[in-house]
Chains A and B, each alone.
Chain A
Amino acid sequence: MNFTWSDAAYFWPEAIMALTFIACVLTDLVTRGRRHGVTLSVLIAGTVVSLAMTVIKAPEASHYVFGQMVVIDPFAHFFRYVFLFVTLVTAVFSYSSREIMGKDRENQGEYYSFLAVMCFGMMVMAEANDLLMLALSIELVSITSYIMAGYARFSLRSTEASLKYVLWGAMSSGVMLYGASILYGLTGATGFSAIREGLLAGSGSELALLVGMLFVLAGIGYKISAVPFHFWTPDVYEGAPTPVTALFSAGPKAAGFALLIRFFYTSLVQTDGTGGVTLLEGIQWPWLLAIMSAVTMTWGNLAALRQTNVKRMLAYSSIAHVGYLLMGFVLLTQAGLQAILFYLLIYAIMNLGAFLVVIALNNRLHSEHMDDYAGLGYREPILAGAMTIFLFSLTGLPPTAGFVAKFYLFAALVDSQLWWLALLGVLNSVISLYYYMSIARSMYFTPATETGGLGLSRAHVALVVILAVPTLVLGLYWSPVKALADSSLAFLLGG
């Protein structure tokens, strides 16, 4: 147990988030749940400090802080940025969302504490290097998600969403633990690298490895909502309050991918130290995941085609995007993973942006039905303009960051000659154009029923613009962000 205080310094960002959680709980108690603005400011302060510490304490190598369980390396470090950014954005626009902070809601203060602990949980998820920690971190994030999903305690949709979520989550964690036990049985260890050593050494039967891996994949797959583990997503996304849905679509999904990459690329793969990756002779998992990716992509896109509720459509679109991300995952190449990381960051920005617009409109229109968006282009030009940028970015059209992200994915795919998946991915983007444009169509082409602005809060529109700008700018100049994503992978595959 090599626990040295000097290493502990790298754990500061997570520590600060935990402290923020406790601080939020205390402030909420002190203000007796009335002035939730204070709790929000505590949360924001905590997040900012944590962000600062992340920047200061950027690890350039992998540090095992508390034994082998958790590793803080550039890979996890990249995800910290994503989680902090997502938490910050969600916190701010939850403040102005009718569904959470409406006048007839109470215990808004505790919402922020859950947000803090969720961020903490996600950070740990990205650093888990052990089956146990994997289960525990997923469990923490899931429990917070169940609570936040059911946050609007008296709305039937929200409670129903949380019920489905909790049942599904419990089942998945059960199955995952069973799978973990099998892997433990095969290798006699729970640490990812130890599992790899165990698999290399042991004769281990293929079937057991397959079942074990698959069941663990069920647990992680549930978090990133890949087919066939995605069934909860549409109902929960639609039922949960919109800020929570926005958080789900960006935060836990990225954390799930972090876990997926770390688990598969540490325990089920051999690396020759120079970035080259070869499969363990035991199992050909890339093919399996390729099929999953194809099905997820197509399922998400085709289901989204016929949605008229924008939130539910964005739910299916997020499933489709998981399909695109998995494309990069199956290539066993450095380029593939870099593309995923970059895509996750860009996806977080544009998806949050889109949800933010949905929230803003929900506050005034009290509905997310597409027909209610009629003529929005003219009543709220800035908001509609930003939404159009997000939609184009989600489709992957050039001037936007979405295109660049997809471009890297396809570059990686073509580089490894995986033509059929590339073709399917490309065709799916075309299908996705149809339903994304159906929103633009209702905003611009169908005439508005009544005229005049919606009187949205200036802060909300400002935040939307703040998110829209990088979506466009990163579409034109994105080298620094890509460099960050590339460097963060050096250690995972190299190490």
Chain B
Amino acid sequence: MEIGLNHYLTLSAVLFSLGVFTVLSRRHAIVILMGVELILNAAALNFVAFSRFVAENLDGQLVAVFIIVIAAAEAAVALAIVLAIFRNFQTVYVDQVDRLQR
């Protein structure tokens, strides 16, 4: 049967929801970042799907490329911060990092 736009959108929706679930439910900082990567990939997939089926221009794909750039930049900084946290707190579990006032 033909693979239409909705299939891609559904897949990206699934990826997006799993990303949200990961971010919400995991304690490990890096796994949360992985969740964010999932969300970004879902967004990129959406862009490409729309560019292919709706917009008939390459803007979508271009944006997808830039999304990868953003993901890269963010991952770099995020992981650097996670390392700094590990050095100071000796743990990467988010709920143990709790020195600020309520």
Contact = CB atoms under 8 A, between A and B. Distances in A.
Direct chain A–B contact by Cβ atoms under 8 Å: yes
Interface of A: 131-132, 135-136, 139, 143, 146-147, 150, 153-154, 156-157, 159-163, 166-167, 169-171, 173-175, 177-178, 180-182, 184-185, 188-190, 235, 238-239, 309, 312
Contact of A147 (B29, B63, B77): B77
B81 interface: yes
A238 B101 contact: yes
Nearest to B32: A167
Given A174-B36, A181-B47, A312-B101, 15 more contacts: A132-B66, A135-B70, A146-B77, A156-B89, A157-B100, A160-B89, A160-B99, A166-B77, A170-B33, A171-B23, A174-B39, A178-B39, A181-B46, A190-B59, A235-B100
Given A156-B99, A167-B94, A239-B100, A162 B66 contact: no
Sorted from nearest, which 3 A-B pairs have the closest CB atoms? A181-B46, A174-B39, A188-B55
A178 B46 contact: yes
B19 to A, nearest CB: 7
A482 B37 CA distance: 45
B101 A189 contact: no
Which label, helix, strand, loop or mixed, suits the secondary structure of the A interface?
Answer: helix
B97 A163 contact: yes
Contacts of A167: 23, 29, 32-33, 36, 78, 94
A184 B100 contact: no
Contacts of B66: 132, 135-136
Contact of B100 (A150, A160, A174): A160
Interface residues of B, number: 46
Interface of B: 9, 12, 16, 19, 23, 29, 32-33, 36, 39-40, 42-44, 46-47, 49-51, 54-57, 59-60, 62-63, 66-67, 70, 73-74, 77-78, 81-82, 84-85, 88-89, 94, 97-101
Nearest to B16: A178
A6 to B, nearest CB: 27
Given A135-B66, A163-B29, A190-B63, A184 B77 contact: no
Given A150-B81, A185-B54, A177 B100 contact: no
Contacts of B63: 131-132, 180-181, 184, 190
A174 B77 contact: no
Nearest to A135: B70
A184 B47 contact: yes
Contacts of A180: 43, 47, 63
B28 to A, nearest CB: 11
B78 A166 contact: yes
Given A160-B85, A163-B85, A171 B97 contact: no
A184 B59 contact: yes
Nearest to B101: A309
A167 B29 CA distance: 8
Contacts of B94: 163, 167
A182 B81 contact: no
Contacts of A182: 46
B24 to A, nearest CB: 9
Nearest to B83: A159
Contacts of A132: 62-63, 66
A132 B55 CA distance: 16
A146 B81 CA distance: 9
Contacts of A131: 63
Contacts of B55: 184, 188-189
B47 to A, nearest CB: 5
A150 B84 contact: yes
Given A163-B94, A188-B54, A181 B43 contact: yes
A156 B88 CA distance: 6
Contact of B88 (A154, A166, A174, A309): A154
Contact of B40 (A153, A157, A174, A238): A174
9 contacts: A136-B70, A159-B85, A160-B85, A160-B99, A167-B32, A170-B36, A174-B39, A184-B46, A190-B59
A184 B56 CA distance: 12
Given A132-B66, A136-B70, A171-B23, A159 B78 contact: no
A182 B85 CA distance: 35
B19 A174 contact: yes
Contacts of B16: 178
Nearest to A167: B32
Contacts of B36: 167, 170-171, 174
A225 B98 CA distance: 21
Contacts of A174: 19, 36, 39-40, 43
Contacts of B85: 159-160, 163
B60 A171 contact: no
Contacts of B70: 135-136, 139, 173, 177
A159 B39 contact: no
Contacts of B47: 180-181, 184
Nearest to A194: B59
B77 A163 contact: no
Contacts of A157: 99-100
Contacts of A154: 88
Nearest to B67: A177
A266 B57 CA distance: 22
